[in-house]
Amino acid sequence: MGSGSGHGAAAVAVVLVSWLCFASAGVGAIGANWGTQASHPLQPDTVVRMLKDNGFQKVKLFDAEEGTMNALKKSGLDVMVGIPNDMLLPMATSMKNAEKWVDTNVSSYLNDGVNIRYVAVGNEPFLETYNGSFLQTTYPAIKNIQSALIKAGLGNSVKVTCPLNADVYASSTTKPSDGDFRTDIHDLMIAIVKLLSDNGGAFTVNIYPFISLYIDPNFPVDYAFFDGASSPIVDGSMTYTNMFDANHDTLIWALKKNGFGNLPVIIGEIGWPTDGDRNANAEMAQHFNQGFMTHIASGRGTPMRPGPVDAYLFSLIDEDEKSIQPGNFERHWGIFTYDGQPKYPLNLGTSNSGGLVRAKGVKYLEKKWCVLKPSVSLTDPKLADNVGYACSMADCTSLGYKTSCGMLDIRGNISYAFNNYYQKNDQDDVACGFQNLATTTGQDPSTGTCRFGIMIEVDSAFSWRLQRLGGNFLLMLLLVLLQLCLSFS
């Protein structure tokens, strides 16, 4: 992180001592968000082992997918299981639906040894980009799930929450003490907060200094990190040197003003992406995430809420099928790559302080790549359409200004796009056709920070692919035949 080795060793020692204190007190555990919007996700058992190998004590899920939940049985990890936004309506309008969901996704898994501690009802449902789609259903859904948990006898052991974006509150000035809930949803927020408070729940908020920097080029970069800002915000007797503390305490003030100053707060998501934008790279991500870990390991908390911080890093693994509507960086939040390789050194302050541990037992396809034929002219009129097709069907978010593959020449860009499509389609020969513009090679075209990946073996993602294909029977049949061929070859 740019400091001298003596300072670095001292900082690590402080982190380790702090975390040992936390461990003995049973607080301050760090969690991870485990998303599965990937074309070739790692096997759930592999991910659970990776979570444990890296000392994570809890995990946050965005749904209750069967393979994921089964892998968490008897893992010892505390689980926050999610109900996606598209399920809020059925939960809100039918108590029977809520009871059935709790029975299927909470009670049965608890009985099988999954340590479910929270149910996250919805995910940032009040984002302004949703244009109010979930304003009518979120609170009734939370209420019904809470009632269903109580009816199932789980009211004391499993709590409801609702992960919300930090845009549900704001300060009329830059001072946290001027914070309150957004005027358009103020009454709704108070109703939700009261329900959480009455039932011993917690307020879950996602805080992203990176997004502030992405949206506003004039945002002070040093304020996003934890080294002390050149222009701190002074709020009465409080001084804020980083955005996390100020944003967090804006929420604490909003809660306090409305009579809920003691409601527990969980940081549902916090992190920094490594690609897809000029400010998204491994160096800045390591700087931010290590700074955050060291900050919370100190046990100081924030000026308005001293003590341990309950947080889930976002995220564990890159997801190549996430929507890039917010930005190309969306597919690159992982502290691990798609195949479970650490992107940078990160001391989580857990039992394993030697750095991140990669996923074990990952199987890859052959070491071959799809590239532009050397003989093809860059003036070939077929190139533009073929590259456009490859990028529309695969992931080209690492190509662009100041991204990991931003230094490639035109031929390199084209080869990257072709290879990504080829790998996503399990190195199928047909997927390296591109009207005879491409060819396969055994020589790795990776260069510098730009990695030309090789896909995880098809078995790892096979059941997932069948689920996603749904009604496309012909493609499903072809995949089944392919799997049979592979198993007999």
Name the nearest CA neighbour of 306 among 318, 316, 298, 314.
298
Considering 65, 66, 99, 124, which one is annotated as catalytic? 124
Q: Tell me the H-state helices in 217-333.
A: 221-224, 243-257, 282-297
What's the maximum distance between 2 C-alpha atoms anywhere in the chain? 72
DSSP 450: B
Considering 65, 66, 128, 269, which one is annotated as catalytic? 269
The Cα 156–Cα 275 span in angstroms is: 42
Q: Who's near 77: CB < 8 A, 6+ residues apart?
A: 48, 51, 52, 56, 57, 58, 59, 115
Residue with tokens 């979120």: 138
Q: Who's near 53: CB < 8 A, 6+ residues apart?
A: 352, 357, 360
Q: 32 in the Ramachandran plot: left (φ > 0), alpha (ψ -120 to 50) or beta?
A: beta
CA 87 to chain centre: 20
C-alpha angle 378-384-388 in degrees, rounded to nearest 5 = 140
Q: Tell me the H-state helices in 183-242.
A: 186-198, 209-215, 221-224
Q: Which two tokens stand for residue 129?
A: 């980009």
124 is catalytic: yes
Residue with tokens 């809920």: 260
Question: Judging by beta carbons within 10 Å of its beta carbon (0-12, 13-18, 19+), is residue 340 exposed, middle or buried?
Answer: buried
457 is catalytic: no
Residues carrying an active site annotation: 124, 269
